[in-house]
């Protein structure tokens, strides 16, 4: 797959789907998400904010220890298209430094806050070795707390093998998200889906 492409729906031969969580880690909601995935033996990808990782390093370490993927969501969560390229690069690098402190490895994935993306930011991400990740269920708007049923109704129709789903485990009350994810995970497991990281999805994709 071309690194300049946005990753949101991949061609795969098995029933796999990638849950992603933005804006953590959070001492309450990240733990609740971990418990949901622990119960079903699934993995997820957490697009963490560097500053939040510095605030809750032990939670970030737990996410990594349990086999989930930690990816770059910048250091302070700005809209990168409103910064100079130098400032944007610094946001990515500062977050990357914290990720490496926690995981010992470079992150493979990046998601721009607010989906603030243009060709310059995409190119910057490629230069730093990242795939840029979007999602198929942006219409669920879980960040806006629209209600559990709303999140479910705007996510279910978007799910198929190879889908990347976006949710949030940080910044504000995420109890609606946790409940919606709990229901979705149970439904997808019952349908025979395997819950994997975005990097695993990329690895098994026909487009890899």
What are the catalytic residues? Answer: 22, 168
- Using the structure block, give the residue that is written with the tokens 């709990």: 182
The 3-state secondary structure of the chain reads CCCCCEECECCCCCCEEEEEEECCCCCCHHHHHHHHHHHHCCCCEEEECHHHHHHCHHHHHHHHHCCCEEEECCCCCCCHHHCCHHHHHHHHHHHHHHHHHHHCCCCCEECCHHHCCCHHHHHHHHHCCCEEECCCCHHHCHHHCCCHHHHHHCCHHHCCCCEEEEEECCCCCCHHHHHHHHHHHHHHHHCCCEECCHHHHHHHCCCC
Dig out the tokens for 94 from the structure. Answer: 């500062």
Q: What are phi and psi of 100, to 5 degrees?
A: -65, -35
């Amino acid at each position: 797959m071309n690194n300049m492409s946005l990753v949101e729906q991949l061609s795969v031969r098995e029933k796999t789907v990638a849950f992603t969580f933005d804006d953590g880690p959070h001492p309450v909601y990240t733990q609740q998400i971990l418990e949901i995935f622990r119960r079903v033996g699934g993995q997820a990808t957490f697009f963490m904010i560097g500053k939040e990782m510095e605030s809750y390093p032990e939670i970030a370490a737990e996410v990594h220890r349990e086999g989930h993927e930690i990816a770059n969501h910048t250091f302070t969560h700005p809209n990168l298209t409103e910064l100079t390229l130098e400032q944007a690069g610094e946001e990515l690098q500062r977050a990357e430094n914290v990720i490496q402190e926690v995981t010992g490895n470079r992150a493979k994935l990046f998601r721009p806050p607010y989906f603030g993306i243009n060709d310059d930011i995409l190119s910057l991400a490629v230069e730093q070795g990242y795939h840029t990740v979007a999602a198929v269920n942006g219409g669920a708007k879980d960040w806006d707390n629209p209600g559990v049923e709303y999140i479910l109704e705007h996510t279910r129709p978007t799910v198929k093998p190879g889908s990347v789903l976006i949710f949030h485990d940080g910044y504000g009350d995420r109890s609606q998200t946790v409940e919606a994810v709990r229901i979705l995970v149970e439904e997808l497991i019952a349908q025979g889906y395997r819950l994997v990281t975005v990097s695993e999805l990329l690895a098994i994709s026909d487009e890899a």
